[in-house]
Amino acid sequence: MNKKLAAALSSGAVLVLTLSGCGDDSEEKVNAWAKEVCDQAQPQIKKRADAQQAIISTAADGKPADIQAADSKAFADIAAADKALAKAIRDAGAPPVENGEKLQQDAVKELEGTAGAYLDLKKKVDELDPKDQQKFADGLQTVADGLKKIERMDQAALEKLQSGELGKAMAKQPGCQKPKTSSPASGGSASDGQA
């Protein structure tokens, strides 16, 4: 029942992880900017990955009430992570690249927009009735459709920061590299590693 939502999240998980994807003075400035953002981004990227993992692991055989609780918490966590990523990018200032100020403003705006959209999904999940299996399943489909739209928003925001030398500099930073998560088949609790 929650497998479509899990599938949508699985494809979307790649988006945030691609954030992890510059010998002169300008190169040093770009690297310093990337380090500042990535150092702050690391816990947020992990939080997003953990939230997505919780949805995926609960989707396999979870009861509707468990799925609802996991999805609601995950969407709240992802929204908080997106807000924190936007703040990290805003606080770092404009990256020292061509059109850096516009890149920064666009990325912040889109990350804040996705945070709001995830909070809207949380509200929709919270309003579902887990006792009515059919309505719950239909409601999850609506949530999964909304999730696909949000992931496209995430993609646009992150692609702007991954271009050219800035993207290369960010890919070198440990804080922007793919976090380690357990596989859904590991049988771990959906709450493992949650903050």
DSSP assignment, residue 189? -
The pLDDT score that the predictor gives to residue 15 is: 40
DSSP of 97-158, one letter per residue?
Answer: STTHHHHHHHHHHHHHHHHHHHHHHHHHHHHS-TTSHHHHHHHHHHHHHHHHHHHHHHHHHH
Task: Express as a percent the part of the chain with pLDDT over 70.
Answer: 76
Q: Once rounded to an integer, what is the mean pLDDT over residues 141-166?
A: 79
Taking the C-alpha atoms of residue 48 and residue 179, their distance in angstroms, rounded to an integer, is 10
* pTM of model > 0.75: yes
DSSP reduced 3-state for 187: coil
**pLDDT tens, 44-56?**
989 999 998 988 8
pLDDT higher than threshold 70 for residue 180: no
DSSP reduced 3-state for 19: helix
Q: Once rounded to an integer, what is the mean pLDDT over residues 117-138?
A: 93
